[in-house]
Structure 1
Amino acid sequence: MDILPLLERVARGEISPQEAYGILKNLPFTDLGFAKVDHHRNLRKGFPEVVYCPGKSREHLLAILKDLAERVPNFLATRADQETYEFLRQHLPFLSFHPTARLIFAEREPRPRVGKIVVVTGGTADIPVAEEAAVTAEIAGNHVERLFDVGVAGIHRLLAHLSVFEGANAVIAVAGMEGALPSVLAGLVNVPVIAVPTSIGYGAHLSGLAPLLAMLASCAPGMAVVNIDNGFGAGFFAHLVNQLVEGRRKS
C-alpha cells in the first residue's frame, strides 16, 4: 500500500486518523522471497522486527538487515557470532556487536532510557543470557541496572544489595542449576519478576528443563517465566512493563 494516498484521504476527512492507523498497523511487509520482513511491527509493538541469526545464511541475513536499515534506525539481530558480525559490518558499517550478549544491533537514533529494570543472575555463567536481556531492554529505550552472581548458594550476597531494586518497574532474574533465584526475588520485591532459566548446570539439570519446571512451579506471586535461555524475550517483556508504568506516570 502507498501511504501517501491514505494520508490524503485522512486530510480530506474521508477516513479518521484512527481508521488509517488500523489500516497501517497491518501493512506492509517486504517479500524477499526467502523472508517476509515485517516493517509495521514497530507501529504495532513499538519496536522493529528482531532477526534470529542461527540457521540463516550470511547472505540472507545481510539482505534482511539491509531492508530493515532502509526503514528503521534501530534494530536487533540475536544469537550472532563475531564472524557473522564482521561479514555484515563490511556492508553495514554502522552495526555494533555485543559479544557477551551475542547481539548485533543498529542504534542510529538512541532512544531516551527511562524508568528502571534490574537484571539479576544467580551466577557468572548466566551472564550471557542476562546481557541479552539487558542490551535488548536498553536498545528499546529503558534504563537497566545489573546485579550479577547473587544466587541462593550465597544468599547474603543478594540481601546486601536490596537497595538496587528501589524504584524498579520490573526485575529479570536469570538462573540455571535449580533455578531458585526468581522465586526468592518474587518474595522480596513488589514489581513483576521475569524468570529466565538457563542451560547452565549438571546432569539432572537437564539442559535447563529442571530450572524451567522449578520456576513454573513456584508459589511466589508476581512471577512470569520465559523459555530456556530466552534473554531477548525477557528483555522485551520487561521493556513493555517499564514503558507502560512510565507512560502512566507521565499521563
Structure 2
Amino acid sequence: MGSIYLIRHGQASFGADDYDVLSPIGIRQAEVLGAHLAQLGTRIDRSVSGDLRRQQHTANSALQQLHDAGIAIPPLDIDSAFNEFDADAVIRSLLPGMLGEEPEALHILRNGAQNRAEFQRLFAKLVDRWISGEHDTPDLQSWQGFVEQVQGGLSRILEQANSKQNIAVFTSGGTITALLHLITSIAPAQAFELNWQIVNTSLSCLKFRGSQVSLASFNSHVHLQLLKAPELITYR
C-alpha cells in the first residue's frame, strides 16, 4: 500500500497584519519535523502543497532537512485544492447574522490575539453555521464546495500515484478536516471537533491502494513532544 502524509503547516502569524507567514516558532516546527523524518530515514517520493505561503514555507523547510541529511527529495508540486478554507470570508459573511446573540463578537474577533479563548468560541460557532449549509450566500464558498475542492485534489494524487509511493501533502487544518469527513464519513461537526486539536506540523497518515483510502493515524506530533519544549506545541 502507499502512504499519504497530511502535514499541517507550522504556526502562522495569528494576530498580525498578514496571517499567511510562518512565525519563528512555525519555522522551527517545520525544521524539527524534517529532521525527525530524516532521522527515521523516511523516503518521500512526491510532495504536494497548497499555494498558501505558510504551507509552502513549511514544505520547503522540512524537505531541506531531508536534503541536508543526504536523502533525495522530490520537487514541490503546487495544487490549490489543498488550500485552507477562507476563514476571513466565513467571518465576514456569517458574523452579521450572529451579532444579535453575540453583541461583542465583532470586537473580540478583531482583537483575537488578545482574546484567544473567546475568539475560538466564536469562530467555532461561525464554522458550525457554515457547515450546516443553512446560511450559504453566493459570495461565500460553501462547506460542500470546499469538500469537493479537497476531494478533487485527493483524486488527482491517487490518479498519478502508484501503490508503493510515500506522498507528503503540506496543507492546513480545515483541509485535513474535510479529508477526515470524506474518508471516514464522520459528520462535519464531529470532524471539526477534531480539527481544533490538530497541532501545527502534525502528521496524519492515509493508506491507499488504487482509489481505496483509509485513515491509518491522526495528528501525530511526536517530533515535537520528544523535544520536551511545550512552546512548540501550538494549534493556530
TM over 0.5: no
Q: Which has the higher helix share?
A: 2
* TM-score (norm. length: structure 2): 0.30
Higher relative contact order (CA 8 A, sep 6+): 2
Q: Which has the larger radius of gyration?
A: 1
